[in-house]
Amino acid sequence: MSLGLSQKELAEKAGIHPQSVGKMERGQTTRLKQKPKSGLAHALGISVEYLDAVCQGRTVEEIAVLKFCPQCWVPGTSPDPMWTTPRSKHCFACGSKLQDRCSGCHEPIASLKFRFCPYCGKSYKGGGSE
Ligand SMILES: [Zn+2]
Ligand SMILES: [Zn+2]
């Protein structure tokens, strides 16, 4: 199973031209540097690492995907960049173990724009036993 967005789907979601994603991938554009890229990732509710992976055509499972602190995260908002750093395992603010998948069905979290797991309907934030 893959979470992967195609470049085209990503472009459609982000409301940018599919060619821009391709250009980003090939490093041909100077306008889509780090800052707009993080803005784009923010708009999509995904991490910059995830966005990079999609742009480069890598499989997303290779990298750390989305993580959030079950205590501090406010559903519907973007995760703090500190949480999505691949090496982060615990919340920097409260020390809670970060969650990267649904506590109900254990599917990886596709987007933190969602409050509920699209696969099983469980609230991402609620009901964790940890
Ligand atoms: Zn926390
Ligand atoms: Zn689920």
CA 83 – CA 25 distance, rounded (Å):
25
Check pLDDT > 60 for residue 124: yes
Residue range(s) of every CATH 1.10.260 domain in the chain: 7-62
Fold category of 7-62 in CATH: 434 Repressor (Amino-terminal Domain) (1.10.260)
Q: What is the pLDDT of residues 5-43, one digit of tens each?
A: 677 777 777 777 767 666 666 655 555 555 677 777 777
> Does residue 66 contact residue 50 with C-beta atoms inside 8 Å?
yes
Q: How far is the CA of 62 from the centre of ligand 2 (A)?
A: 21
CA 89 – CA 74 distance, rounded (Å):
18
Q: How far is the CA of 110 from the centre of ligand 2 (A)?
A: 11
Exposed (0-12), middle (13-18) or buried (19+): which is 5, by Cβ within 10 Å? buried
CB neighbours (10 Å) of residue 25? 16
Q: What is the pLDDT of residues 66-122, one digit of tens each?
A: 788 988 988 777 778 888 887 889 999 999 999 888 888 988 887 777 788 888 999
Q: How far is the CA of 54 from the centre of ligand 2 (A)?
A: 23
